[in-house]
Amino acid sequence: MKSAFKNKKQLFIINKTSTSIIMKKYLSVLSIVLIFGCTQTQQQKKNVDVTATLKWQTDTVLKVPESVIYNPEDKFIYVSNINGKADSTDGNGFISRLNLDGKISELEWVKGLDAPKGMGIYKGKLYVTDIHKLVIIDIATASIEKSIVIDSAEFLNDVTIDAKGDVYFTDSGAKRIHLYKDGTVTLWTKDPLLIMPNGILALENSLRIIDMGTGLFYDADYSTKKLTGVADTIPGGDGVMQISKNEYIISCWPGEVYYVNEAAVKKILDTKAAKLNAADAWYIDGENLLVVPTFYGNSVMAYTITKE
C-alpha cells in the first residue's frame, strides 16, 4: 500500500504532507473513525453477493489512463490520459474515446492538456480537471472552449455535476472542494476532516465523497456542508459510483473495488497481484458495466456487475 500510494502521490503530493500536519489532524480523524465504528456495530451486517466478471480489456496503447466517463448521448466512453507525470504541466495529456465494446475510436480525441484527471459531462460539455485548471471541452467540435486557472489549487482531481449543472471538483492536495457555477469558481468547503478528498458524486440533496487519505466515505449536505460518515475501511478510494439507491461502488487506486450499501462494505475486485490499478472508474447504468482505468497498466478494463 505504501509503495502504491507513493507512486500516485506524484498525484497527491504526499511528500508535502508533513508529520506535524498529520498529527494535528490525528485526533479529529480518530474521532470520526470511532463514530464510524460505533455506527457499524449498531447495523445488522448481511451477506451481499456481488460479483465483477471481466468482459473486455483495451489494448495497452493508452497513456496512464486516470479517469473514464460514459456519455449516453453519443455512446462513447471518454478516457483521460495523463501521459507522463501526474503533476507535470508538459502539454502531453489527452482525452481518448472508446466504443462500448472497448475498441478505441480515437486515441487522441482532444490533445494539448497537461495531466487530465476527473471528468463530468453536462449539456454537450466535458469538464476536466487538469492539475491547476478546470478545462471545458465542447464535445461536438472536440475543441477546448475554456480553461479556468484556480490560483489556490495544488492538485485538482475528481469532478461531479449535479442536476442543475453546478460543477463540483476536489483538490486532493489542498484538501478542498471547489464549485464552478455561473461561470465562476468558488471554494465550496475546506473541512478539517478532509485529509485527501478524491472521488466525488452529486446526489439529489448531497455530495458523496471518498477520502483517499483516510479511507472514509462521507455524505456532505448541500445546505449545511456538514460531513456525515457513511462507511470506512476503503483504502485509497478514487472513484464513487451509485448503482441504485443506497448502493455504491468505489474504485480504489491501489487496485481494489468495493461494493457499499447501508449495511456492508464488500471487496468485489482485487487486481493488485496483477499490478493493475483501479483509478477513477465509471458504472454504466443499463449495461451493468463497470469501466476501470488501470493507470500504469495503460489500459481500460470493463466488468459485468451481477448482484443477487
Q: At 83, which amino acid appears?
A: N
pTM: 0.87
Q: Quick check: helix, strand or coil at residue 23?
A: helix
Tell whether the model's pLDDT for residue 306 goes beyond 60.
Answer: yes
What's the burial of 117, exposed, middle or buried (CB within 10 Å: 0-12/13-18/19+)?
buried
Q: Which tens digit of pLDDT belongs to each residue from 249-292? A: 999 999 999 999 988 999 999 999 999 999 999 999 999 999 99
CA atoms within 13 A on the CB side of 169: 32
Q: Are 189 and 203 contacting, i.e. CB atoms less than 8 angstroms apart?
A: no
Q: Are 65 and 299 contacting, i.e. CB atoms less than 8 angstroms apart?
A: yes
* Type and span of the H or E element at 4: helix 2-12
Q: Are 224 and 40 contacting, i.e. CB atoms less than 8 angstroms apart?
A: no
What is the spatial distance between Cα 102 and Cα 291, in angstroms, rounded to a whole number?
9
Tell whether the model's pLDDT for residue 34 goes beyond 90.
Answer: no
What's the burial of 175, exposed, middle or buried (CB within 10 Å: 0-12/13-18/19+)?
buried
- C-alpha cell of residue 154: 495544488
> Which CATH topology does 2-307 take?
Neuraminidase (2.120.10)
Q: Which tens digit of pLDDT belongs to each residue from 171-227? A: 999 999 999 999 999 999 999 999 999 999 999 999 999 999 999 999 999 999 999
Question: Would you list the domain boundaries of the chain?
Answer: 2-307
